[in-house]
Structure 1
Amino acid sequence: MRENAGAAFGFAGVAMAAVYARDRKDGDRLRMTEQLGRTSTPYELPPVLSLSDHHPVTEAYRTGRSVWPATAHPVTAGETPAVSVGALPLGMVHAPLGCLLVVADGPDRFDPTRRRLLEMYAAQVVIRLEADGLPLTGPEPGGERARGTSVLRRIRPGAFTLGLDTGDIDADSQMLRLFGIAPESFDGRIEALLSRAVPDDLPSMMALVEPDRRPPNVRDLEFRVRLSTGELRWLSLSCQVQFASAGRPDQLLGVVADASQLRPSAHEVSRVQRLATALADATTIREVGSVVVTALLDSLGADRVALAELVGDRLVVTVLEPSDQNAWPRAWRSAWRTEWPDAPSSSLPTLEAVLREGTIRLWPSHTATQPDLARLGPGGLALLPLPAEDRVVGACMVGWDEPHEFGLEERSLLTATASLAGQALVRARAVDAEHELATMLQRSLLPRRLPALPGGVAVARYLPATAGLEVGGDWYDVIPLTDGQVAFVIGDVQGHSAAAATIMGQMRTAIRAYAVEGHAPDVVVSHANRLLVDMETDLFATVCYVALDMEEGNAWFVRAGHPPPVIRDPEGTTRELHAEIGPPLGVFTEAEYTMATTTLAPGSVLALMTDGLVESAHMEVEEGLRRVGASLAAADPSDPDGTADSLLGDTARRDDDVALLLLRYDGMAVRPRRAGWAVWRLPDAAVHARRFTTRTLRKWDATEESDTVLLVVSELVTNALVHTRGEVRLDLTLAGDRLRVAVSDSSPRTPIRAASMDWEATGGRGILLVDALSESWGSVPFSGGKQVWSEIALPPSEPDRPTREGEATQGNGPGHGDAAAAK
């Protein structure tokens, strides 16, 4: 092949070459943009061709396949030297950049070997054209040629053939110069060339000649060689295996070109590395959009950027910068009207084409854009498809108002940005979906709303971790109990997994059940511990349980491996509730849990939290508790929601879930009045119960509904005496305008209201009467038995008025109690 070195064109015996591109003004014509080699030739090079012309150039452009005419083409019919002609497409069928025409002296000069070399050479031309970042379009008539069309003068490739059996290589002089080897000193062995390669790149080069890894089709490779001066040079290689007639691999054909200009500079590499690092930390689609917009605006000085995610056949815009709708064309404003705009991709034809083809489109300042892109980038416009997993997942638009040209570094940065952003979008989409699922599961296991409390306001916050995606085990609960007590519970199951969420749900349910049964806090926690041990799981849980008497402010609390509660006193001082801490639940079967007491004054704030709020990789628990105390002291206790938000602080990045339960204790403005009586098991026990109730109602001056109350008391006491054994107790509670009647017994069996009643039946009407006379009624577990209760609404008390002479006050007349009791 060395004889080709002296040819005018210098490659594969070509005497002349020309590049054709679509005309700027007339899209149905191809215009010659560059000619290289011999200026005079027997073959005529038409400056303009119509796409309908019968010519090798137009045929190659239309079909996307190389055209090698079988006959020579003289200029005239006279006796002139014959030539060989070939036309090679530049680019793919659906996105052609142009066409390369090659001419060689003499007939049949393009044998199969030279055809393969020229096809690989055309691929090198395409790489250079794409690196220039400009569409290959013909010059305007009478005007200057577009920048970048001198690519044939800039690319100086070398060619070689390598015998796969012998290791002998036939390389032209240009290839030897690229390797820094003098042609006269070359011994024709492949080892001489491989010795110049950088050792790190040798494995990929040797793979090309290994029998089981030889490329059946054209393969591209970039590698480095070290010249005798010590300089490193990047080279690009395109090669293909040629097979002998028997189908045996015979030789390797290759084209080598200088690729130094295609390699990114150190500054560009650092920008791409910073972008990759920022995208690696972006966990949501909005974060990905913000990172991409910042990178493009800061690095390229763009005036507007739009990032859209492809969902089905619709483009869902993630980021519009600037967000002012007047900065965008009317066509886009009409399609994208909402805060999170979306539109069918078909409504924006150019974007649809970019998504379909998957190739970057650039419009410098001197080129016209399509109508649907008008005003997006009058100075320059780039449309980037975002590839990932062998498909396009979105698109990015970058526009400039002032004239802008795309250099090699910008082209590389845009290409890298598109690739990184596409992969980041796929990750963020999966993260968003998994995080939404985890959050939904977590919240479904937590209380939907907290109950209204007499004498206080409770608020809660839950924030899932951002570092992990799996559901966590943090929970909280507020459990109203009997006698004006409320239990506040917060807990944390070890780990983040479905198993942790399952244990969390079981523990919350178990603790609520034990608490409602009326057990003391230490007993509730002990029962929950034994239950978790019996589950035979490797997970454990920490719990803090506080039972508070909302009437008196007395609190009993237990800690099982959990951070202590923090209290803000009315004066603004804060303190931690320290007690002897027991082991986490699920560790020891016979673990003991000590109960401690404290008192809350009206105006106090009680805060319970999980360790995600007070502990992290950069903060110890003690420091976290001090920060909580400081925030609690500085907060406004009259605003519980604001106080909870201030305690959370800046938790944008969380390594663990955070659960917070906050109570502002106000105390009861009007304390309930209570009275209780142990019912004797005598034949006239119901009569004594009614007499006790009558005396109590007179004492409380609440006799307006005494008949209703006495009937409910009689029915509940009678049911307890008839259907149970053991002690029966009657408790009356007056809170405002509501009277609560509660009868406790030792049987856990709950009374059931009959769905239908036979009027000849002798029983079963008691519960029907209670249901009809009560505002509400029910049954709760109580100390191994149950408590059946009924609430009766009383008329609002009227202001005192003078009593007329001789008029008796209702319920205060002599013998009224006996008369009522006899009813």
Structure 2
Amino acid sequence: MGEQPDSDDTGAPLRAEQVLGPAGIGVWRWNAPHAELELDRTSARLLGADESRPRLLGRDVRALLHGEDFVRLRSTARLAISEHRSFDVRVRVLSETGQVRRVLLLQLVPGEPTGRYPVQGTAAPGQWPEDWADAPEPPPAPEPRPGHGPDRDPRSRAAELRQIDGLNRSPQPPAPPRRSPARSPLASSPPLLPVPTADMRRSREAFLLDAGMALAEAGTTSEVLRVVSTLSMPGFSPDALAVFGIEGAMLTMVGRHGHEPRDEAPFRMSLDADYPGAEVARTGRPVYLSSPEAYRRRYPTTWPLAEGFDRNSWAFLPLVSAGRTTGTWLAAFREPVRFTSDERAVLSTVARMLAQALERAHTNESERALSLGLRRSMGAGSPAVSGMTVASRYVPTGGGLMVGGDWYDVIDLPEGRFAVVIGDVEGHDVHAASLMAQLRTAVHAYAAEGHHPDAVLARTSRFLSGLDADRFATCVYIEADPATGTLAVARAGHPHPVLRLPDGTCLIRHVDGGLPLGLLPQGEDYPVTTMELRVGEVLLLCTDGLIETGGHDMYSGWARVRDTMSPGPADDLEAMADALIRAVHGPASHQGPGHLTDRREDDIALLLLRRDQVGPESEPPVRQLVLTVGQDQPERIAGVRAELRAILHDWAVEDHVDAALLLASELLANVLVHTDQEATLVAALHGTPGERRLRVEVADQSDEQPHRRTPGEMASSGRGLILLELLADRWGMQPRGQGKCIWFELDEAAGDQA
């Protein structure tokens, strides 16, 4: 690695080896983008690798080291990267026959976690920490090769050799030979004795544990295949791998590794063919072929397919999931393998883990494909509506799906009208996403039939209760007329809309509503609230994910929405939508409540609706409030007072605010008590701060005129007009084509002078 030119695209060459190399200490680093271990000559020599090949893949490193040591090295490297501190690890280097060649002390130094080299360090001869004093004395070691470090202390060298001999000491027969990367012969290597059979079994157990962890972390089919291609089994490692799937009556190629590019031709074969992979898929029993002669003898018809790959042993194992054979795994070996009972047990265990990993990956990919299709069906853009502008956003939850139970829709209606819908199905799984798609279709169909908002929600509720008795959904349905700005709103257990006035004031626009959809199959009642959206006003509809994500409750969540919507003009509705999403998932969301809470615990649907100026511009927009109180809704007067106080939040004179609330309540109560009609209140704020004028109108469709009376001391009514004369700067009554209107005005400047 140190001998490469500076122009090498793998990065700047190491310089430390020029100092540490003569001392017998090697330098290495892990190249994360290429998944390679880069070595200098000293490190390559200490590991027993070919010094002319200074790069090793992960499986090559596994083949050079003891299985338990490799697992420990890998976990320690991850810990060094995550905790950003250095660690020392001792590892046993094995020979081609699986015998301990030497012990190395590796120092792991973390780099940038997201950089090219997240971990690097040094390699030096070391000693195993256990006491091997009873090991027999090894024969004298030959002189070290010149140019590879100074002469070592004979006593230290003897201790190292005695320890290595103890590590290899065992009465068991030699372990089967193992294939490893190209190595350089070392004249100074100590005598090699067989690795104990028990030690090899422990290595394979460690390998299976490591393989299981790696496969469990793989989330897609490509990741599973990449993990399998890097597996290096202790004592025997396949040189080529292939995974076959079953499509109908055909055996197909899912993925392969270890073949030349010319071999990447499409593969399809009938399950009835005389091919070992097809036989395994048919019968569910593995096939082990330890030699080319065995392959040729058992499968003469398909032997020519395997003959050209220069392999000498093959293992075909079934991939079984939930008792069903879903495919075949092929492991091919360049070196002959006898397939002992231990080796077959290792291969069978890996095949079971591989089948489960592929099944999980297939399920995840299917769910993501479904959710992606549902998300695309909602559309990424906002429709063009004359007289109104709509902006929409959808942010999925963090559970792996790209869509949850939230949805929105914009529906074209006859005569230039349109409907906007937003809803939230209980849950964040694929079932919730499926119900969402069906509800969205049902709402669209009922709206297209011409039903009014209350009827649309009632029919949708009955539809949902017939689909799934265990799930419910919340929804807001609005029918909008861009020509007049009139909105007919029906709500089913969903959060209230937010109204942003032209000057940036934000109000929670309380509207009547019913129970969530699906809770009462019969007798649903969803009252309709009529309101007017004036030019420059913005109505926000959202699901609870925008409010509560990040550990917020309804109060603090609404405050976050208000603080994001209020500043600046509302000309760019798309920018306002982006700002609202950033307030939840951006850096600013990690301040205040819930800064340690998961930012993807709920998905978010968002709709913004703005009334635009059509034709010549009129006077600048003002704050305005339009509310209706029915004969059977006297409790709504309290809500009217709350919303009227909200638009007067910055009025200079607090007594004027109290007077306005009292007069408005009195006029509304008079309509409910003395007529059989509903009352409509319109409150408008004109002018600039400090010189503003408040005008409140209460209209009804009754022709009966109010009369001034002189109530007695104990009378409970008759003081309405008297209060108007005392508290209002101006007041009056206007007859209309149908009914009448009583109005009053308050001047902010007059209150300051007083």
TM-score by length of structure 1 reads 0.34
Q: Which has the larger radius of gyration?
A: 1
